[in-house]
């Protein structure tokens, strides 16, 4: 065993050597040191603001839907570990990957039939873009190589995904001029329940038609734009995209990395619109937050098109493609989700969030409170003071990670009513003090 390091030593080394998401180097804000996690609770290595445990309001960025240290997922991981943690996927295959792929095909919208297992959400978006561009290349239309999206989106931090993130409000403004130049429609008008705006729908249709010759695909996050601004829109616009893409020979990609596996109240957000994309990306909650894994699904038509090209293969193959450990846990996580009345739990959380976040409405500095499924958002009329807001939440015994003008939560589905009330109180406190 290596010599144990004290919390103070760990934090000093962390600051000196370790990059954190969207962080400077050396680090400035001290991260909280987590020792273990169980259920909906993160256990800290030393108390902070008088708390040695925090209720997790973030599900580790949308992923830990069943909470931490779950016996069923632990068993799946241990069982697979005893057989093999990993083998290469070139020329070899294995039960966990095959079972998972079959399950994903079964539960996603009907025409999605083929599965590419990648190792992170961003890579699954890269693969989706590659599929679409290669499809048109194979069909003798190499000029169809651009993407269209609406503003306010987020699709990951690697190159192609960055090019379709929000070009202004996002983290990737720095790269304008270096990234591939894509086509942007206005952000969809807000409101899940709002009647679709005819003029906006017409604008989408017109823009897709005007650029059809150069467009490989339209890519959007259906119903919820996550890291781009936590906003919700009418599923009606997804039907508009589907119609326009069909009319103008453009592929449609749904990035369901954040929305997949029940978060919005439907198993996949596409179901709110009753339509299917040609390509779909999944990640985040895929393994219940245990391991990194993502999937890109496509229709038989897309796969057939690619196979008809001069290079009749999809030339992509990550070293850890189809990782058996991650695939086994993902399969167990989906089975666990479907074995319970997950929709009722998400509905229960939705009701609890509406009730618990209502007081924030009357706070000075709060612009809007919105809830959809197990997602609760308080939007301020100013940039949040991250340090103050985080401290206010920790004082309430809750872990939150606000950004921009947003304090939000998407708790694990197993969060009980008392813990949910606590999360809501923390969001309100963070909104007041941030």
Ligand X SMILES: *Cc1c(COP(=O)(O)O)cnc(C)c1O
With respect to ligand X, which residue has the nearer C-beta, 120 or 138?
Answer: 120
Give the bridge partners for 379, in sequence order: 368, 406
With respect to ligand X, which residue has the nearer C-beta, 265 or 289?
Answer: 289
Residue 257 binds to ligand X (criterion: CB under 6 A)? yes
Complete edge-to-edge strand list for the sheet that includes strand 183-185: 112-118, 294-299, 279-282, 251-255, 215-220, 146-150, 183-185
Binding segment toward ligand X, per CB under 6 A, in 117-125, 272-280, 326-334, 376-384? 117-125
Applying the rule CB under 6 A, the residues between 221 and 250 that interact with ligand X are 221, 226-227
Burial grade of 86 (CB within 10 A; 0-12, 13-18, 19 or more): middle
Q: Which of 131, 258, 330, 366 binds ligand X (CB under 6 A)?
A: 258
Binding segment toward ligand X, per CB under 6 A, in 149-157, 192-200, 229-237, 372-380? 149-157
With respect to ligand X, which residue has the nearer C-beta, 8 or 19?
Answer: 19
Residue 233 — φ and ψ, nearest 5°? -135, 170
Give the bridge partners for 297, in sequence order: 115, 280
Whether residue 263 contacts residue 346, with contact meaning beta carbons closer than 8 Å, is answered with yes
Helix 386-395 vs helix 417-433: crossing angle, to nearest 10: 150
**DSSP assignment, residue 90?**
S
- Does 255 participate in catalysis according to the annotation? yes
- Does 22 participate in catalysis according to the annotation? yes
Q: Which of 154, 192, 237, 342 binds ligand X (CB under 6 A)?
A: 154
Applying the rule CB under 6 A, the residues between 325 and 344 that interact with ligand X are none
With respect to ligand X, which residue has the nearer C-beta, 123 or 276?
Answer: 123
Q: How far is the C-alpha of 328 from the C-alpha of 79, rounded, in Å?
A: 9
Total binding residues for ligand X by CB under 6 A?
A: 15
Whether residue 374 contacts residue 67, with contact meaning beta carbons closer than 8 Å, is answered with no
Residue 121 binds to ligand X (criterion: CB under 6 A)? yes
- Does 154 participate in catalysis according to the annotation? yes
Binding segment toward ligand X, per CB under 6 A, in 7-15, 220-228, 363-371, 388-396? 220-228
> C-beta of 213: minimal distance to ligand X in Å?
27
Q: How far is the C-alpha of 434 from the C-alpha of 428, rounded, in Å?
A: 10
Which chain residues interact with ligand X by CB under 6 A? 120-122, 125, 154-156, 221, 226-227, 255, 257-258, 283-284
Q: Which residues are catalytic?
A: 22, 154, 255, 284
């Amino acid at each position: 065993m290596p010599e144990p390091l004290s919390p103070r030593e760990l934090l000093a080394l962390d600051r000196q050597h370790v990059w954190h998401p969207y962080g400077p180097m050396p680090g400035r804000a001290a991260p909280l040191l987590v020792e273990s996690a169980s259920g909906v609770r993160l256990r800290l290595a030393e108390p902070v603001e008088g708390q040695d445990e925090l209720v997790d309001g973030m599900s580790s960025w949308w992923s830990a839907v069943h909470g931490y240290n779950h016996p069923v997922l632990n068993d799946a991981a241990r069982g697979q570990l005893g057989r093999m943690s990993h083998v290469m996927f070139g020329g070899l295959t294995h039960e966990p990957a095959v079972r998972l792929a079959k399950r994903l095909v079964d539960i996603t919208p009907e025409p999605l039939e083929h599965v590419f297992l990648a190792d992170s959400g961003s890579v699954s978006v890269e693969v989706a873009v590659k599929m679409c561009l290669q499809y048109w290349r194979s069909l003798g239309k190499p000029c169809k190589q651009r993407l269209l999206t609406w503003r306010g989106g987020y699709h990951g931090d690697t190159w192609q995904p960055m090019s379709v993130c929000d070009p202004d409000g996002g983290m990737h403004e720095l790269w304008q001029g270096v990234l591939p130049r894509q086509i942007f429609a206005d952000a969809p008008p807000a409101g899940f329940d709002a009647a679709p705006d005819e003029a906006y729908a017409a604008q989408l249709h017109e823009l897709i038609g005007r650029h059809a010759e150069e467009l490989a695909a339209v890519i959007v996050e259906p119903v919820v734009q996550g890291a781009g601004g936590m906003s919700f829109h009418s599923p009606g616009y997804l039907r508009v995209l589907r119609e326009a893409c069909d009319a103008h020979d453009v592929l449609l990609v749904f990035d369901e990395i954040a929305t997949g596996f029940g978060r919005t109240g439907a198993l996949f957000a596409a179901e709110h619109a009753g339509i299917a994309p040609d390509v779909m990306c999944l990640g985040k909650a895929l393994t219940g937050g245990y391991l990194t894994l993502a999937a890109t699904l496509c229709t038989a038509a897309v796969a057939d098109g690619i196979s008809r090209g001069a290079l009749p293969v999809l030339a992509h193959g990550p070293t850890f493609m189809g990782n058996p450990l991650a695939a086994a846990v993902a399969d167990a996580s989906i089975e666990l989700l479907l074995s319970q009345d997950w929709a009722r739990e998400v509905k229960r959380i939705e009701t609890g969030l509406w009730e618990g976040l209502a007081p924030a409405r009357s706070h000075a500095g709060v612009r809007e409170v919105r809830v959809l499924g197990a997602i609760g958002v308080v939007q301020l009329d100013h940039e949040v003071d991250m340090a103050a807001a985080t401290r206010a939440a920790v004082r309430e015994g809750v872990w939150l990670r606000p950004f921009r003008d947003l304090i939000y939560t998407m708790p694990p589905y197993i969060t009980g009513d008392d813990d949910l009330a606590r999360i809501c109180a923390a969001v309100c406190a963070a909104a007041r003090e941030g």
